[in-house]
Amino acid sequence: MACSREDTDSEERQNCPICLCEFKIPRQLPCMHSFCEKCLQDYISSREETVKKLNKIECPICRQAVSLEGKGKSSTIVASMFPINVILQSIITDDAKVKVDRSCDSCHSAGKVRSAQDFCVECEEGMCEICSEVHRNQKMSRNHVILSMEEFTSDPHNVIKIAKGFSCPEHDGEAIGFYCKDHKIACCSKCCTVSHRNCASVSDLTKELPSLLQELNPDSVIEQMKKIETHLKSFVDVNESSISLLESQVNDLTNQIRELRKKMNDIIDEIERKVKIEGHRICKEETIRKQEENHHCQSLINSIRYSHSLLEAVKKYGTETQVFLMTEKMTSQLTSYLDHIQERYTKTDTTTIMLETNPQVQHVLSIGPDSLVKIVSKREMQRLPRIFVKKPSISCRIQLDRIIEITDNDRWEPNYFGITYLFSGHLMLADYTNYGLHLLDSSYNPITCYKLKHVIFDVCVVDYNDMVAVTIPGLKTVQFLSVMNGNITPTKTITTKYTCYGITAAGKGHIVISGYSTDDRKPYWSLVNGEGKESCHLIECDCKSSYTYVAVDSSLTQIYVTVHHAHSLYCFDISGIKKFVYRSVSLTNPRGVATDKHDNVYVVGHASNNIHQLTPDGVVLQIISNGVPSAPLAICFNWDGDVFLVTNDSDSRKINQYEIK
């Protein structure tokens, strides 16, 4: 009988990220990741040189440095000094209760064995009667919440309600009751008088909770963690498919050899033996490598599941303050997870095994088996779909990194109205003046140029096979082209209802275009599917439109459209409902628009010679003018979202590259 999803999730939360089996004595590191005590012992032993030199290890999940107690002692003793994760232990226990017969953790560290009578929620340690009395009287711990073991085991979620970290991290035992808007941090009364006495806006945390919880949105954090989990599962699935393909290819090789054996008898028998050995060797090596990747990936999945299940528990049983603090902590972890994915899990490879046969097989008797055939393997990188997860909107430091000189053979000065990165790492430019699509390599050297017969405006990449789409305003069409092996080939054309200028991809082969209506020149944007079916939305404004650009956020739920003559940026949801309009006296004739990895919005001011950085809700973060070329035009981000390019029509063969710090 199939188990329920809740049962499955509960079971997976009980698995150690190292051994992938059910936890046995889960020990928790300061970074909140937990492992079996035995697994932790083995891990510490495997890092013997680092432990001896630095007395530290790295967490196997997040790589945070962890200082070790008990210098010079065995890994068994060192591992046992980390606290037991009592919340996890309570989940593992069949009746969701922590076992009553636990020992005193303080005495255990001293090599003694005494039964625990009480439990400190903040220290997450069991205490005997003597240690409990000392704990209550010490200045550092007198305000800790201490429960009897009976109280704790009767309702283990008390741990969640008053979990460690909900008191002030700077002042032990002080309740967090205030919020500093200047530093965007929750604090206690002592913090207010010491660290925030000069801040302009410090208020009661309770009054700020509704807006803070709305901004952080614990449900959104949980959903984003689930998206990360789905992405990691996709990574595992691709690797599993690659392993299956390798095994299948080895079988295919065997069949090929059997066919050759009919003509080559004894020599083919020898070749078959060698092919099998070599093929299985490659398969085994690649399988081990893939399984190691999947093992680490699965460990991260388990950690993420535990994190969002903990947040769900806090959300269900905790106070608003606790929900806010835990959400804030999990939001920080979310950024760590995304960085970890960006570092290791944005792409994987598929190894192909092929048989290369000598064309002079008829001379096999004189050639010999070693020269007849050989096994070759080839890895092809496969980029996984971009993970669309919102990070907190933050202002950041942006600096001009370099100015790229574009070389071409065109007679007329180019105007690069469109620019986009391809998934291959190449760059494509749409030249308005010379009707050309310029393909550059990752170092911005020219590869080829494809000439169209009409004026083109903007360009975007549509799918992960580097299919691109370019707008042709004069024909009211969008031309799709395939970019492969340095060649650009037209594939199909769709006709649009109105004149089209801006274009961006919207996932699953869909695009969003912008332009103006034919009769009254009203600006509009339209969602277009792969068959060319449109869903048009006119934009109400008091002027006739000319150039417009369009962008979407990473979750494909918000549409941003610049309207040149209205000096405005319009934001809509995917159904066409207007969310906000951004105008500023310092934004004149806006052109290009794009979003970064935090979903911040960047609007190019063509006549104001600047770039406006906004939050997804339209609040200005900063206005960038230093290093911005005169008359900037189009803007695009790389796939990591930390580098962007800006074209211009003042010195049009130069493109500015900026880096986000």
For residue 633, give the CATH number of its domain. Answer: 2.120.10.30
Which helix (H) or strand (E) is 439 found in, with range?
A: strand 436-440
Per the prediction, the chain carries an average pLDDT of: 83
3-state secondary structure 580-611: EEECCCCCCCEEEEEECCCCCEEEEECCCCEE
Please check the confidence at residue 95 and state whether its pLDDT lies above 80.
Answer: no
The more confidently predicted of residues 49 and 493 is 493
pLDDT of residue 385: 58
Q: How far apart are CA 501 and CA 453, in angstroms?
A: 17
Is pLDDT at 644 greater than 70 in this prediction? yes
Q: How far apart are CA 635 and CA 630, in angstroms?
A: 14
At 52 the three-state DSSP class reads helix
Question: 346 and 461: one domain?
Answer: no
Is-contact 188 176, C-beta < 8 A? yes
pLDDT for 462 equals 92
Containing H/E element for 421? Answer: strand 416-421
**Which percentage of the chain shows pLDDT scores above 70?**
87
Q: What is the mean pLDDT of residues 478-502?
A: 94
- If asked whether residues 411 and 534 sit together in one domain, one would say yes
* Alpha-carbon span 18 to 42, nearest angstrom: 10
Whether 164 has a pLDDT exceeding 60, the answer reads no
Q: 641 and 493 share a domain?
A: yes
- Kindly state the tokens that stand for 462: 């549509």
Q: Among 122, 146, 164, identify where a domain stops.
A: 164
Structural domains in the chain (count): 3
pLDDT on residue 334: 84
Q: Indicate whether 202 belongs to any domain.
A: no
Q: Is the pTM of this model over 0.75?
A: no
Q: Please provide the DSSP assignment of 234-249 as one string.
A: HHHHHHHHHHHHHHHH
pLDDT above 60 for 12: no
Question: Letter for the amino acid at 41?
Answer: Q
Which carries the bigger pLDDT value, residue 133 or residue 361?
Answer: 133
Asked whether residue 392 is domain-assigned, the answer is no
Closest by CA to 449, choosing from 423, 478, 481, 477, is 481
Nearest to 306 by CA among 68, 35, 95: 35
Query: How many residues are there in the chain?
Result: 661
Are 435 and 541 in a shared domain?
A: yes
Q: Are residues 104 and 247 in the same domain?
A: no
**Domain CATH code at residue 349:** 1.20.120
Which of 383, 407, 430 is a domain's end point? 383
C-alpha–C-alpha distance, residues 389 and 395, integer Å = 18
In a domain, 205, yes or no: no
Neighbours of 124 (CB within 10 A): 17
The model's pLDDT over 451-467, given as tens digits with 9 standing for 90+, comes to: 999 999 999 999 888 89
Highest mean pLDDT of the ranges 57-66, 211-220, 613-622:
613-622
Same-domain check for residues 257 and 376: yes
Ramachandran category for residue 521: left, alpha or beta (phi over 0 → left; psi -120 to 50 → alpha): left
Range of the domain at 636: 398-660
Most confident of 125-134, 174-183, 534-543: 125-134
Contact at 8 Å (CB) between 257 and 271? yes
Q: Is residue 590 part of a domain?
A: yes
Residue burial 483-517, b: 16+ Cβ < 10 Å; e: rest: beeeebeeeeebebebbbbbbbbbeeebbbbbbbb
Residues 331-367 have pLDDT tens digits of 888 888 888 788 777 778 888 888 777 666 666 556 6
Model pLDDT for residues 265-288, shown as the tens digit of each residue: 777 778 778 888 988 998 998 899
Q: Residue 98 maps to which CATH number?
A: 3.30.40.10
Q: Is residue 153 part of a domain?
A: yes
Query: What pLDDT, on the 0 to 100 scale, is given for residue 480?
Result: 96
In-domain check, residue 250: yes
In this model, does residue 560 exceed pLDDT 80? yes
With left for phi above 0 and alpha for psi between -120 and 50, is residue 631 left, alpha or beta?
Answer: left
For residue 379, pLDDT beyond 70: no
* Residue 421 β-bridge partners: 427
Q: Taking a C-beta distance cutoff of 8 angstroms, is the pair 147, 163 a contact?
A: no
Q: What is the pLDDT of residue 369?
A: 65
Query: Are 535 and 574 contained in the same domain?
Result: yes
Burial of 126 (0-12, 13-18, 19+ CB in 10 A): buried
- Last-in-domain residue among 319, 350, 383: 383
What is the per-residue pLDDT for 412? Answer: 87
Cα(399)–Cα(439) distance, rounded to whole angstroms? 26
Same domain, 461 and 426: yes
pLDDT at 275: 84
Inside any domain, residue 300:
yes
Gap between the Cα atoms of 229 and 560, Å rounded: 28
Claim to verify: residue 445 and residue 593 sit in the same structural domain: yes
CA-based nearest residue to 616, from 60, 348, 164, 220: 220
Query: Do 284 and 308 reside in the same domain of the chain?
Result: yes
Q: How far apart are CA 447 and CA 488, in angstroms?
A: 10
Residue 444 has pLDDT above 90, yes or no: yes
Check residue 262 and report its DSSP letter: H
Residue 134 sits in the same domain as residue 246: no
Is position 204 within any domain?
Answer: no
* Whether residue 434 is found in the same domain as residue 578: yes
Tell me the pLDDT band of 426, cut-offs 50, 70 and 90: very high
Instruction: Indicate the burial class of 630 (C-beta count within 10 angstroms; 0-12, 13-18, 19 or more).
Output: exposed
Question: Residue 373's closest CA among 287, 274, 241?
Answer: 274
What is the model's pLDDT at position 5? 36
Taking the C-alpha atoms of residue 53 and residue 431, their distance in angstroms, rounded to an integer, is: 59
478 pLDDT above the threshold of 90: yes
